[in-house]
Every structure is written in structure tokens, then in C-alpha cells.
Amino acid sequence: MFRPLLIASLLFACLPASSAPGEETAQSSKRAASRQGTPYAGNEEAMAFADEVAEKRKLDREWVRGVVAKAQKVPLVARLMQPAPAATAKNWRLYRSRFIDPVRINAGVRFWQANKDTLERAEKEFGVPAEIIVGIVGVETIYGQQMGDFRVLDAVATLAFDFPDSHPRKEEREKYFRGELEHFLAYHSLMGTDPLRPRGSYAGAMGMPQFMPSSIVRWAVDYDGDKSIDLSRSADDVIGSVANYFRSYGWKPGMPTHYPVGFDKEKLDLDALMAPDILPTFSVASFQSKGALLEGPALEHKGPLALVELQNGGDAPQYVAGTENFYVITRYNWSSYYAMAVIELGREVREAMQKQAEARKAS
């Protein structure tokens, strides 16, 4: 059985392995320098935020102010958060090639084989297929190979107080990251752990599954029973936490993520089918009445469907009929391209394992 966060102590850190003396290269020194910035100690807005969090959460005011004062504004974080140029065309084939490759597939096979029993246990307890969990961890960090080396405090503080002005959703995103910084501070105050130690992505995501601070608080679980939660080194905790995340968002055991879809050109009302975006809205009957063509198991689907469009640059887009489970995957990352990459990586890993098993039987 797993333990929820507030019962277990969480190893809230994604620390890279320390180098032996003399191993640091000029490149690593340059990378470290790019992650340095200006402390928020003299920033009135940041200090006012610290006071608000201390009062709201009943935390020690001087401790919160001291931590926020040590947070640094890192220009590189803000630059990496800039939106893609408006003219950049979405391209599913290119996006897919970044995540479905031999490196991730082979690493996924090793991860699945090493954690087969835990994946089976999580699938039984949470209803989330092993290949979806494997797909998530592979897309996010190549099974722990790329967990990020930004100091989390600096990343979330930079995005909380200095989110790029050019971003069309600046106000919304800044509010989000202030919430993440609040969760981060409150956790470390509660647990008595060092908020300067955790490392993660430029957005503040941590560990093999790249959980944000609020996600760790809400969904991380102690799945190996050692009375701690370690999303950087415990594959059991990672697997259980990802499965718990999906179940919490309404994953339906046994339901496919999507079905093939075609079109009846004479009846097609593409605008109506695309209007809800990827939110499952249409019954099978209403879906087909607007010109979508389904066959086989899709015709027996009981829940709502959505038309998911995957653009291919200048070429014709691809379409699938997304189910509620497809939508659940997009709650991890709000992108249909991301969700499809997770699905297809998990499938490719599963098929690679099957081929290996068949080859062993034949030899």
C-alpha cells in the first residue's frame, strides 16, 4: 500500500550526482553560470509576497522572507518560457520524432523490465496501464536521465515575479507560478527541509515524472513503503505517483485513449467537430451525424468523444477520435501532441518488449 504525502516525509529534491574533483568541465561551468541570477532580497514585490504567504500559511515570517530573499531571478528561465514565434507551424511528425526514437524506446524497455512487478501492481490498484506510465516517464525525462539542473526555488520565483511580458498569458501564468512557489515554501517549512537544494526543470518541475510542487503535494505517494517519497531515485514512488495522478483526474480503466476516424465529405461539419477542441463532447451518434466515420470497437464506445487534430506543417493533418482517457493525459501537459507522444512511446516500448520475448523463444 502507498502512503499519502502528509503521512510520509518527501525527499523533495532532484539533485544531480556530484562530480569527482577535477571532473567539472568548462561547459558545465558555463551551464552553471547561466543559472545564476540576481537575488530577490531587494525586491519589494517579492518580499510582500513572502509576508502574504507567511500570514496565510501561518509560517515563520522571517524564515519565509529569508528563503525568498535567497531566490534568484534567472534570465535564462524567463527566456526559455517565451512562447514559440507566431508563425511556427505545428508538426506532429516532427514532434513525434523527438520522443519516439531508439534511445527512449530502449531505455523504456529497461525501465519496464526492471519495474515489471510495480507496474503491474499500479495497473491493478489504479487502473492505469503500464504503457501509459512508461510513456509519461520516458517523454518527461528519458527515465530519469534528464531531470533538470535549475534550482527549483530560482525557477519558480523568476516565473512568479518576472514572467516574460511578451507572453500572451502573462498574468495567468504568473499567478500560477506564485501558487507553485507558495506550495514549495509551505512544504519545506512543514518538513524542515532545505528549500535551496531541490533541482529541476526551468519551469520548476522535479524528478523522473517532472511533478510541479503542487502536484507533489496533491498526488505524490510512498509506493515502496519506506516512509518517504523520492521521485528522483525510487521508481516505485514514481510509478505510484503517476498512476495516482491519472486516477485523480478520472482515468477510466479499460477505456482506449483514442480510435481511428475518417470523414464523410458530404456530411462533414469540421467547424462543429473542432469547436470543443479536445474536450470529449460528442456521443457516437452526434459525432457521426457531423460527418465523422467510426468503425469496429469505436461504434460501441459509451462515453463522449472529441475530434483531435494533429497538424503536420504544410502537409495534411491527421485526426483521431479522442476519449475521456485521452483528455486525462492532457491534464499532465495541456497538449494533444504531448498526449499522443506518451501513448505512442508506451506502445512502442511494449511492442519492443514483445519482439524481444519472441526472439528469445525462437533462439
Q: Could you confirm whether 45 is annotated as catalytic?
A: no
What's the rounded Cα separation, in Å, for the pair 46 and 174?
12
Whether the CB-CB separation of 53 and 25 falls below 8 Å is answered with no
The half-sphere exposure of 328 on its side-chain side, counting CA atoms within 13 A, is 25
User: What does the buried/exposed string (b/e) look like for 252-290 if buried means 16 or more CB atoms within 10 Å of the residue's CB?
Assistant: beeeebbbebeeeeeeeeeeebeeeebebebebeebbeb
Q: Could you say which of 123, 131, 140, 180 is catalytic? A: 140
What's the rounded Cα separation, in Å, for the pair 146 and 134?
15
205 phi and psi, to 5 degrees? -80, 145
List CB contacts of 286: < 8 A, sequence separation 6 or more. Answer: none
The four Cα atoms 57, 58, 60, 66 give a dihedral, to 10 degrees, of 20
Q: Using CB atoms within 10 A of its CB, is residue 339 exposed (0-12), middle (13-18) or buried (19+)?
A: buried
Whether the CB-CB separation of 313 and 89 falls below 8 Å is answered with yes
Closest CA to 12 of 228, 182, 156: 228
* Residue 335 cell numbers, joined: 497538449
Which residues are catalytically annotated? 140
